[in-house]
């Protein structure tokens, strides 16, 4: 593809005026790359990475540019870094859009913890750390989570209020342990909600995800899991967040050998606090596959409450779109109207939609040589390529609600499906 040098020059001038505009810088890099100016593209990519070292598209661009510049070793380094970060950054993207605040700048304390040799330059040599895990405080609060009124209310009554009122807690003999299982379609902000809960409580937040779990399976799984809980206990009050809990607390009947079952058994006994007191440790689990979670995990004292996290409702959708378009040039966008057209969109879908619409406007600007704002027509155009991703989840979930609703596990879900006339 040939690129008009004047376009690049114009964009570079704009960039000089607004050096922090990462999106534009990336675009310039991409144009340079397609104009066969690999070295210059690589320089732009490096600029992006200086500002946001974990920027996925920045890494991708750097990888391609380094390759084109004839430096395969460097390209390979970027690729591996990008792959290692792939999941975490995808989550960040969704999460940052679900709150009404933009993503915290990269210099801030990393929220999600850090796998061995992952995104941190100097891993801390704290003795208690396992696989780079450490407890951090979260500065996001529930008020920054768009929508989810019912979920917040349930959380407040079940957990937050008793935690904030120690006297009442004592009076009613309510213990501060146990857990909450968040489930729902992918991309609807379960992870962000968990972080907001930790922020709300002013407690430490410890998070483990799929890769940590896999590391656990490879090492001495039971010991590793024990260390994670010990770390949480040392940092109490602490919220221990286990993302994709179905991977760790998988139904034992789905396991092929007994070694794997030990991990589940260990998780059960850690949650029971058999060897140590769990007072002050609250375990939050999140999953898209609640049906794969071992039912023993749902007994009292473990995940005794299950909360369905639904796709955002219309006001929340408007809020998500608005925050996704923040810092972008917009022209007469009616967020309410857009939100009304986006039923069943997950937070991630909405962000994707906003990105696609912005891309349209940008492509247009490049074609015509004049910068124009993103308008309703761009959203309309972009809608063709964006489909709500939550439907297939509900299709599967319906089957479980019909055939496997023992003990009313999925009553919330059934109520929702019925309210949508899907059941």
Q: Which residues bind another protein (CB under 8 A)?
A: 210, 213-214, 217-218, 244, 246-248, 250, 253-256, 260, 289, 291-292, 396, 398-400, 402-404, 406
Q: Report the candidate in 252, 276, 254, 245 with the shortest Cα–Cα distance to residue 180.
A: 245
Rg (CA), the chain: 23
Q: How far is the CB of 370 from another protein (least distance, A)?
A: 43
Q: How far is the CB of 208 from another protein (least distance, A)?
A: 12
> CA-CA distance, 209 to 194, in Å (whole number)?
13
Nearer to another protein, 211 or 360 (CB): 211
Q: Kindly tell me which of 247 and 324 has the beta carbon lying closer to another protein.
A: 247
The residue among 247 and 354 lying less far from another protein, judged by its C-beta, is: 247
Q: How far is the CB of 194 from another protein (least distance, A)?
A: 19
CB 54 within 8 A of CB 85: yes
Q: Report how far residue 112's alpha carbon sits from residue 198's, in angstroms, rounded to the nearest whole number.
A: 12
| Cβ-contact 207, 241 below 8 angstroms | yes
Q: Are 165 and 212 in contact (CB under 8 A)?
A: no
CA–CA gap between residue 326 and residue 44 (Å, rounded)? 23
Q: Which is nearer to another protein, 200 or 294 (CB)?
A: 294
Which strand (E) or helix (H) includes residue 346? none
Question: What is the C-alpha to C-alpha distance for residues 175 and 75, in angstroms, rounded to an integer?
Answer: 53
Of 314 and 414, the one with the shorter C-beta distance to another protein is: 414
Nearest-approach distance from CB 274 to another protein, in angstroms: 23
Coil/strand/helix, residue 131:
coil
CB of 403 to another protein, least distance (A): 4
Cα–Cα distance for residue pair 120/309, rounded to 1 Å: 31
Is the CB of 200 or the CB of 244 nearer to another protein? 244
Q: Closest separation between CB of residue 77 and another protein, Å?
A: 14
Residues 61, 389: Cα–Cα separation, whole Å: 27
CA distances in angstroms from 368 to 4, 231, 255, 363, 364, listed in the order given: 12, 57, 58, 9, 6
Question: Of 50 and 399, which has the nearer Cβ to another protein?
Answer: 399
The DSSP 8-state label assigned to residue 250 in this structure reads B
Which of 108, 94, 23, 20 has the alpha carbon at shortest distance from 57? 23
**Does residue 20 sit in helix, strand or coil?**
coil
Least distance from C-beta 364 to another protein, angstroms? 36
Q: Give the sign of the dihedral formed by CA 119, CA 122, CA 123, CA 126.
A: negative
Closer residue to another protein (CB): 18 or 406 = 406
Smallest distance from the beta carbon of 291 to another protein, in angstroms? 7
């Amino acid at each position: 593809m040939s690129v008009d040098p004047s376009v690049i020059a114009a964009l570079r001038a704009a960039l000089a005026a607004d050096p922090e505009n990462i999106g534009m810088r990336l675009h310039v890099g991409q144009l340079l790359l397609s104009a066969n100016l690999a070295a210059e593209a690589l320089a732009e990519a490096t600029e992006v990475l200086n500002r946001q070292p974990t920027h996925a598209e920045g890494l991708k661009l750097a990888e391609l540019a380094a390759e084109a510049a004839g430096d395969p070793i460097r390209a390979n380094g970027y690729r591996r870094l990008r792959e290692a970060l792939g999941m975490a950054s995808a989550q960040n993207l969704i999460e940052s859009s679900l709150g009404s605040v933009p993503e915290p700048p990269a210099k801030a304390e990393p929220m999600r913890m850090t796998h061995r040799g992952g995104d941190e330059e100097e891993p801390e040599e704290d003795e208690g750390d396992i696989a780079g895990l450490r407890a951090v405080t979260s500065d996001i609060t529930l008020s920054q989570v768009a929508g989810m009124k019912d979920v917040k209310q349930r959380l407040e009554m079940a957990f937050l209020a008793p935690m904030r009122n120690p006297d009442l807690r004592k009076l009613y003999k309510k213990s501060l342990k146990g857990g909450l299982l968040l489930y729902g379609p992918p991309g609807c902000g379960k992870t962000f909600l968990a972080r907001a809960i930790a922020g709300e409580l002013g407690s430490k937040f410890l998070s483990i995800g799929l890769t940590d779990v896999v590391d656990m399976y490879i090492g001495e799984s039971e010991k590793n899991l024990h260390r994670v809980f010990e770390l949480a206990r040392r940092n109490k009050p602490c919220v221990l967040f286990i993302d994709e809990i179905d991977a760790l607390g998988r139904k034992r009947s789905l396991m092929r050998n007994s070694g794997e079952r030990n991990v589940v058994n260990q998780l059960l006994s850690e949650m029971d606090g058999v060897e140590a007191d769990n007072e002050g440790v609250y375990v939050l689990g999140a999953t898209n596959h609640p049906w794969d979670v071992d039912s023993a995990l749902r007994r009292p004292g473990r995940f005794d409450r299950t909360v369905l996290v639904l796709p955002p409702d219309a006001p929340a959708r408007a809020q998500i779109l608005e925050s996704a378009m923040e810092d972008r040039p917009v022209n007469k966008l009616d967020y309410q109207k857009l939100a009304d057209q986006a039923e069943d969109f997950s937070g991630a879908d909405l962000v994707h939609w906003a990105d696609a619409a912005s891309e349209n406007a940008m492509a247009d600007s490049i074609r015509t040589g004049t910068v124009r704002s993103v308008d309703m027509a761009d959203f309309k155009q972009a809608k063709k390529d964006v489909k709500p991703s939550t439907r297939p989840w509900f299709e599967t979930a319906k089957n479980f609600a019909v055939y496997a609703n023992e003990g009313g596990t999925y009553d919330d879900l059934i109520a929702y499906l019925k309210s949508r006339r899907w059941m």
